[in-house]
Amino acid sequence: MKTQEQPAAPLRAVRQRQRRLPLAQLLFAAAGVALLLICGAYLLRFVGATTFHKERAFRVLDEIGGQLDSLQQTLANQLR
């Protein structure tokens, strides 16, 4: 019986390694996907914030341009 038990022990170790390997690969893949999602979310927030600031800058520039036009019309009317 000892001869039958000895080969079974290495087979158990091999099977446990085979079970652990897919689990480790799955955990590694899940961590990679989570990291990609976090990076993607950060990138989207950054692009959104940058776009908002650029749109705001153009709105302010448009408002300043409108005020300068109004000032020019006012000065032209006073010179008449």
Q: What does 5-69 look like in DSSP terms, one character per residue?
A: HHHHHHHHHHHHHHHHHHHHHHHHHHHHHHHHHHHHHHHHHHHHHHHHHHHHHHHHHHHHHHHHH
pLDDT of residue 49: 87
Please give the pLDDT value at position 19.
Answer: 66
**Can you give the pTM of this predicted structure?**
0.50
Q: What is the pLDDT of residues 18-32, one digit of tens each?
A: 666 788 889 999 999
* Lowest mean pLDDT across 8-22, 28-42, 48-62, 64-78: 8-22
Residue 64 has pLDDT above 60, yes or no: yes
